[in-house]
């Protein structure tokens, strides 16, 4: 976890030149304090059941019709960062901003507990997928451009606070890829934005379809896949 902490501090610190520098320092500190807290999974379950199930579902499978993400099996460090980003409006969502501001969620301990609990849940066995028409193209782009960060099986990378994408709803993945490439999530590395920006709508849709179908494996909190520093191969559109 020490390594994860350090990497995150460095990556967030790298953005301190932005106008919202004060906010980045505060967010980093809160994320670090949450990561240092000793997780209490049953406390996390209690918070989840009281505040989150109406939208994200009893088992954390999300709701494809309302484009609400699955959270089951997501990596804890990523969940903590998103909850902080959503409270600080480094990521905007009217629904989630108010939820993340509720008193029981305002302590670093609560962030730790809820994220750890979600990490113990098995991923959604039946996420929404696309129409399956362009899976070969989706695979080629995903494995070429995304896998070195998100994992070949979409399991994410804890050390780099990179989310798992497998078993996530197609429509949510596609929406977030479009949001990210339009710079609508602010505390995100420019490399990610640039990667997504070069892709057409059809390519994004094919990748979201492919990623949503990646297997159940990787539900564990620790993903041992190492992140190489370069894409596995170059993909020519
Ligand atoms: C009123 C409905 C609603 C409730 C209640 C709700 N959420 Fe959400 N949540 C959403 C929506 C919608 C999004 C997608 C936001 C977006 O469009 O960027 C989201 C996104 C998230 C994300 C980001 C997931 C990702 O893959 O990036 C996390 C983490 C999250 N919610 C955690 C929680 C937790 C923990 C609770 C309970 C304390 C909760 N949510 C309660 C609607 C809700
Ligand atoms: C350099 C590493 C890197 C590359 C390359 C990359 N990503 Fe990501 N991606 C990330 C990180 C880190 C985040 C979390 C951003 C944040 O903290 O909000 C992310 C977030 C996302 C999300 C939002 C997930 C959610 O639950 O809200 C999606 C979808 C996504 N990436 C898809 C892709 C796809 C598809 C590709 C390839 C075309 C790609 N990414 C390439 C690192 C990367």
The mean pLDDT of 24-53, rounded to a whole number, is 96
Residue 41 maps to a domain: yes
Among residues 76, 71, 81, which one has the least CA distance to residue 30? 81
For 184-213, b where at least 16 C-beta lie within 10 A, e where not — what string?
ebbbbeeebeebbeebeeebbbbbbbbbbb
Question: Does the structure show a pLDDT above 50 at 225?
Answer: no
Banded model confidence at residue 24, pLDDT cuts 50, 70, 90: confident
Residue 87 maps to a domain: yes
Residue 219 maps to a domain: no
Residue 26 belongs to domain with CATH number: 1.10.760.10
More confident residue, 122 or 6: 122
The mean pLDDT of 20-47, rounded to a whole number, is 90
Question: Does the structure show a pLDDT above 80 at 170?
Answer: yes
Report whether residue 55 contacts ligand 1, using a CB cutoff of 6 Å. Answer: yes
Ligand 2 atom 30: residue of nearest CA: 177
Residue 105 maps to a domain: yes
Chain-centroid distance, C-alpha 60 = 14
Residue 107 maps to a domain: yes
Residue 50 maps to a domain: yes
Residue 76 maps to a domain: yes
**What are the CA-CA distances from residue 129 to residues 102, 118, 233 (Å)?**
32, 22, 26
Residue 168 maps to a domain: no
Q: What's this model's pTM, rounded to 2 decimal places?
A: 0.90
Say which ligand is closest to the CA of 117: 1
**Domain total of the chain:** 1
Give pLDDT, residue 223: 38
What residue numbers bound the domain in which 47 lies? 2-120
């Amino acid at each position: 976890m020490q390594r994860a902490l350090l990497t995150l501090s460095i990556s967030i610190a790298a953005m301190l030149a932005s106008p919202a520098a004060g906010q980045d320092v505060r967010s980093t500190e809160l994320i670090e304090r949450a990561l240092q807290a000793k997780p209490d999974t049953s406390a996390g379950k209690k918070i989840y059941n009281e505040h989150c199930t109406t939208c994200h579902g009893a088992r954390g499978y999300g709701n494809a019709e309302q484009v609400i993400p699955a959270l089951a099996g997501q990596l804890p460090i990523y969940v903590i960062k998103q909850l902080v980003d959503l409270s600080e409006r480094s990521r905007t969502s009217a629904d989630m901003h108010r939820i993340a501001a509720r008193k029981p969620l305002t302590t670093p301990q609560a962030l730790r507990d809820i994220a750890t609990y979600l990490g113990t849940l098995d991923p959604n066995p039946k996420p929404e997928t696309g129409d399956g028409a362009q899976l070969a193209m989706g695979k080629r782009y995903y494995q070429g451009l995304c896998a070195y960060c998100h994992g070949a099986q979409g399991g994410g990378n804890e050390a780099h606070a990179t989310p798992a994408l497998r078993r996530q709803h197609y429509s949510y993945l596609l929406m977030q890829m479009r949001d990210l490439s339009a710079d609508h999530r602010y505390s995100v590395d420019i490399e990610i934005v640039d990667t997504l920006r070069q892709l057409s709508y059809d390519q994004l849709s094919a990748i979201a379809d492919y990623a949503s179908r990646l297997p159940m494996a990787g539900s564990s909190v620790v993903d041992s896949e190492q992140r190489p520093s370069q894409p596995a191969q170059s993909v020519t559109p």
